[in-house]
């Protein structure tokens, strides 16, 4: 048996030549992704709606020894991604990886106040604009700037792979749509040497999806934990490895894939709802 030198193992996760753009990176999974990419050597471009928050996250990465830049942008605004990608290419360099992560919850589930008869047009439109159209805008802009060896990673959800009474109608609808967007895009861009994959997280602590705030109550966490075979919600550190893998050289023959990171939730054949 040949033992692979540690330098070759390290190269599998080395992003030191990459410029990685992450939307929705001012908090939660997007911030966690930006931080692990910077730790792997990438120059990270942090995108989010709040200019102050984007600046804080980028500054934190720089303070930790990484390379980061921040730009405020609303992915739901038509044409905004093309404009910010032009700025990034001019001021930072041509992106090699784009992570379409921005997303919002869009109200309560039908177990609460989100019954379909009461679901408003405004809630529906807002979620579609950010989660589905915003993702489309992001990957379209990415396809215009990425070259051979480029990678696109989209944050979907286990709620797009099955019904999920814990989240809103608009959320499950948009996340399901994102998955076929990823698969179709992977087919188109493969001949150009660009890989496209998605990550499908289950319930994670520290996000604004599913809880509406940064911290959640023990009672709410217990409800989510009851839907997961591992018996608990995930932590931000536990999503970083999969997100790193899907843009790193280690996954060079992976495209069109949907990677669930859910503590085994999708393996259940029934739930207690």
For residue 166, give the 3-state DSSP assignment.
coil
First to last CA, the chain: 50
CB 233 within 8 A of CB 224: yes
Catalytic residue among 37, 119, 169, 171: 171
d(CA 191, CA 219): 49
Q: What is the DSSP string of 121-135?
A: HHHHHHHIIIIIIHH
Tell me, what DSSP letter sits at residue 263? Answer: T
Retrieve residue 140's tokens.
């379209």
Going by their DSSP bridges, the two strands 67-72 and 43-48 should be labelled as parallel
Q: Identify whether 171 is a catalytic site residue.
A: yes
**Cα(209)–Cα(97) distance, rounded to whole angstroms?**
24
Whether 171 and 123 have beta carbons less than 8 Å apart is answered as no
Nearest to 100, CA basis, from 158, 140, 149, 41: 140
From CA 201, how far away is CA 167, in angstroms rounded?
Answer: 13
Nearest to 79 by CA among 32, 22, 34, 136: 136
Please identify every residue annotated as catalytic. Answer: 171
């Amino acid at each position: 048996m040949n033992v692979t030198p540690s330098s070759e193992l390290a190269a599998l996760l080395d992003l030191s030549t990459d410029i990685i753009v992450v939307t929705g990176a001012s908090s939660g999974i997007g911030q966690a992704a930006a931080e692990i990419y910077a730790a792997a050597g990438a120059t990270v471009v942090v995108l989010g709606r709040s200019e102050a928050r984007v600046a804080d996250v980028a500054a934190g990465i720089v303070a930790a020894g990484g390379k980061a830049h921040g730009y405020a942008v609303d992915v739901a605004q038509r044409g905004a991604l093309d404009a910010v990608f032009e700025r990034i290419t001019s001021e930072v360099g041509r992106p090699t990886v784009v992570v379409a992560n921005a997303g919002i919850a869009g109200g309560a589930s039908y177990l609460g106040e989100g019954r379909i008869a009461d679901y408003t047009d405004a809630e529906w439109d807002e979620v579609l604009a950010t989660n589905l159209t915003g993702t489309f805008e992001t990957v379209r802009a990415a396809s215009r700037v990425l070259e051979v060896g480029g990678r696109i990673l989209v944050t979907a959800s286990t709620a797009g792979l099955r019904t999920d009474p814990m989240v809103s109608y608009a959320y499950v609808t948009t996340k399901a749509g994102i998955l076929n967007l990823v698969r179709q895009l992977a087919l188109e861009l493969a001949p150009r040497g660009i890989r496209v994959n998605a990550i499908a997280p289950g319930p994670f602590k520290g996000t604004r999806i599913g809880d509406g705030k940064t911290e959640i109550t023990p009672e709410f966490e217990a409800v989510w934990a009851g839907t997961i075979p591992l018996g608990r919600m995930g932590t931000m550190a536990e999503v970083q490895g999969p997100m790193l893998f899907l843009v790193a050289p280690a996954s060079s023959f992976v495209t069109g894939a949907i990677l669930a990171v859910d503590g085994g939730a999708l393996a259940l054949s029934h739930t207690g709802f």
